Amino acid sequence: MKARIAPSILSADFARLGAEVTAVVEAGADLVHFDVMDNHYVPNLTIGPMVCAAIHPLVNVPIDVHLMVKPVDRVVPDFAKAGASIVTFHPEASEHVDRTIDLIHDCGCRVGLAFNPATPLQWLDHVLEKLDLVLIMSVNPGFGGQSFISGALDKLAEARRRIDRANRSIWLEVDGGVKVENIAAIARAGADTFVAGSAIFGSTNYEQTIADMRTELTRALEEADVEAH
């Protein structure tokens, strides 16, 4: 399994955002996670397509846009034009989930569906085959620096079972409270893509923190391998 680390720029120093994204990509980020909040779907307000377009020329890894906005569809083409590779949205924020999935694909982006801690995975029953990514929220969306909600581990395991039964490659991403200390347990539950905001941007050495996460991931996957044989 290829594990991907996606630093969330929500915890970056916004006064130096260009330097921050450049630094985190040089430090080994596989994706740049871009949190969009609207003070309506979630109680916070962050950044939009103009900022995405501004950082796009600076990064040579995919920009992973996490839309925490309602309604969703109006802004999808804007983010596609701004250089988003992946656009993930919350089902509660769209009146027509299947239509929003098609819209994101039609705009040339990969599409993800995000699940809040209390959102059931049943939303996947009819759309999993169309998705490129499933995002399990391990905090309630809106803020960086919150603690990992342990119930997300069972949910990840259930999402992993569903994805393994599906007939295509679908990434399983986790978002919220991911740290060097818990990333191994999260990987064992089945995640392959790890968003981390405060754990990376709050550290003094991004490269070391990402390397420490990869060491933990390697250890977790080796242990899983031993258990399987």
Does the protein bind ligand DX5 through residue 196 (CB under 6 A)? yes
* Single-letter code of the amino acid located at 60: N
Residue 104 interacting entry, from ligand DX5, Zn ion, none, C-beta within 5 to 8 Å by type: none
Question: Does residue 156 contact residue 178 with C-beta atoms inside 8 Å?
Answer: no
Q: Which of 38, 64, 132, 175 is catalytic?
A: 175
Task: Please indicate whether residue 35 is annotated as part of the active site.
Answer: yes
* Single-letter code of the amino acid located at 88: T
Pick from 3, 4, 5, 11 the residue near ligand DX5 by CB under 6 A.
11
Give the residue nearest to ligand DX5 (CB): 197
Question: Does residue 51 contact residue 98 with C-beta atoms inside 8 Å?
Answer: no
How many Cα atoms occupy the beta-carbon half-sphere of 50 within 13 Å? 2
Cα four-point dihedral sign 158, 164, 168, 172: positive
Interatomic CA distance for residues 196 and 201, integer angstroms:
8
Residue 146 interacting entry, from ligand DX5, Zn ion, none, C-beta within 5 to 8 Å by type: ligand DX5
* Single-letter code of the amino acid located at 142: G
Write out the binding residues for ligand DX5, residues 17-36 only, by CB under 6 A.
33, 35
Phi then psi for residue 172, to 5 deg, are -115, 105
Pick from 27, 178, 187, 213 the residue near ligand DX5 by CB under 6 A.
178
Residue 196 interacting entry, from ligand DX5, Zn ion, none, C-beta within 5 to 8 Å by type: ligand DX5
Compute the least distance from the CB of residue 34 to ligand DX5, in Å: 9
Write out the binding residues for Zn ion, residues 170-229 only, by CB under 5 A.
175
Pick from 130, 146, 188, 212 the residue near ligand DX5 by CB under 6 A.
146
Task: Please indicate whether residue 154 is annotated as part of the active site.
Answer: no
Chain centroid to Cα 63, Å, comes to 10
Burial group, residue 226, by CB count within 10 angstroms (0-12, 13-18, 19+): exposed
- Determine the straight-line distance between the first and last CA of the chain, rounded to whole angstroms: 17
Interatomic CA distance for residues 159 and 59, integer angstroms:
30
Pick from 91, 112, 141, 190 the residue near ligand DX5 by CB under 6 A.
141
Residue 198 interacting entry, from Zn ion, ligand DX5, none, C-beta within 5 to 8 Å by type: ligand DX5
Question: Binding residues for ligand DX5, per CB under 6 A?
Answer: 8, 10-11, 33, 35, 66, 139, 141-142, 144-146, 175-178, 195-199
Catalytic residues: 35, 175
